[in-house]
Amino acid sequence: MPTVFPAFAKINLSLEVIGRRPDGYHELRTVFQTVELHDLLTIEVADAPSVTLTCDDPALSCADDNLVARAARSLQAAAGVTQGARIHLQKRIPMQAGLGGGSSDAAVTLLALRRLWKADIPDAELREMAARLGADVPFFLFGGTALGLGRGDLIFPLPDASLPVVVVVSPGQSVPTGLVFRSLNAQLTEATDIHTLTACPPNGADWTAAGNDLEAVVFRAFPAAREARDKLLALGASLARMSGSGSAVFGLFEEGAAGEMARQACLEAGWRAWVSPPVGREAYARRLQGREADPAP
C-alpha cells in the first residue's frame, strides 16, 4: 500500500553571512522554521531494487540527478537494501525560491524509506548523508525551529517559535542560489558564542532586529522580490523579509483576517501566496509518519 508523506517548506527567520570558508562555501548563521506549505511524496516499496520517480510538474526533472532519487539511492546503497521504491512527487512549493522544497523532499525521502525499508541506519549517519545531498537537507530531518551554522548544515534545535500568522509570497522568479552567493560581498559579522545563539528567544517580535544578508543582492537582481516584501509591509505585516536566497518572502501578521487579506492582495498582484502557519517539531515528527494513500478511483 502506498504511503503519503508531507514535505514542508521552510522560511529563514534570520540569515547572516559571516564569511567565506576555505572550501569555497560561505559560513552562515541562520534560524530555520518549517511552515505548513508542503509537497507530497507518495512512496510504495517495490520488490525489485530499482527506484523510479515521477512528478506532476513537467518543469522538474525526474532523472537520476533529482534530489529525491539521489536520496533514495544513497540510503539504499548505505543500508544494503535489496528492495526498491516507486515514488511520486506532487510539487506545491515553488522551486528555486528559498523555501527549501527540494531539500525537504530529499530529507523526507530519507526518513520515509529508512522506515519503509527497515534500514539499519543510525541518526548520525542519516545526518551525514543528508549533508552530502545539500546544505539545507539536514534541517528537514528535525523541522520546527532550529539554528543552522556552518553551511547551514550544522543543526541545533531551538524551542518552537511562537509566531503570529505567516504569509508566504512567491513573486515567480527563480533565483539560483549559486548566483546569489557568487554576487555576494560577504561583510563579516562579529563571531558570537554558540550558547548565546541557541538561547536566543524564539519569539516573532525578536526577529525584527535580525535580517537576511542576501536581500540586498537579490533585490538588485530580482526587484519583484523587494516589491513583494514592501507590499507585505504596506499591508500591515509586523515583519517581512526574504526567505533564504529568495525570491520568496514572508510576512508576519497579528490576526488571521489580516493575513488572509494580505494573501488575497498578493494573488491580485499576480503572485502565488499562502497563509502558512508554523509547524512545530512535535507536529512535524508526527505528520512525517505518513498516511495511507487514498484508493485509486
Nearest CA to 162 among 42, 59, 33?
Answer: 33
Catalytic residue from among 10, 39, 213, 231: 10
Catalytic residue from among 39, 105, 136, 213: 136
Q: pLDDT-based confidence at 296, cuts 50/70/90? A: low
Torsions phi, psi of 41, nearest 5? -115, 120
Q: What is the pTM of this model?
A: 0.92
pLDDT digits (tens, 9 = 90+) for 237-280: 999 999 999 899 999 999 999 999 999 999 999 999 999 999 99
Residue 196: pLDDT above 80?
Answer: no
Nearest CA to 206 among 170, 244, 158, 167?
Answer: 158
Q: Is 58 exposed, middle or buried (0-12, 13-18, 19+ CB in 10 A)?
A: exposed
Say what the pLDDT of residue 197 is: 45
SS3 56: coil
Three cell numbers, residue 46: 517495490
How many whole angstroms separate alpha carbon 270 and alpha carbon 205?
Answer: 29
Respond yes or no: is residue 91 known to be catalytic.
no
Respond yes or no: is residue 231 known to be catalytic.
no
Say what the pLDDT of residue 268 is: 98
Assess whether the previous peptide bond of 247 is cis (omega < 30° from 0). yes
CB 211 within 8 A of CB 14: yes
Say what the pLDDT of residue 171 is: 96
Report the residue count for the chain.
Answer: 297
How many whole angstroms separate alpha carbon 117 and alpha carbon 97?
Answer: 32
Within 10 Å of residue 12's Cβ, how many Cβ atoms? 27
Q: Give the chain's largest Cα–Cα span.
A: 59
Within 10 Å of residue 56's Cβ, how many Cβ atoms? 12
Q: Do the strands 51-55 and 84-90 form a parallel or antiparallel pair, or are they unpaired?
A: parallel
Counts of helices then strands in the chain (DSSP H, E) = 9, 11
Instruction: Show the domains of the chain with their CATH numbers.
Output: 3-157 (3.30.230.10), 165-275 (3.30.70.890)
Residue 281: which H helix or E strand, with range? Answer: helix 281-287
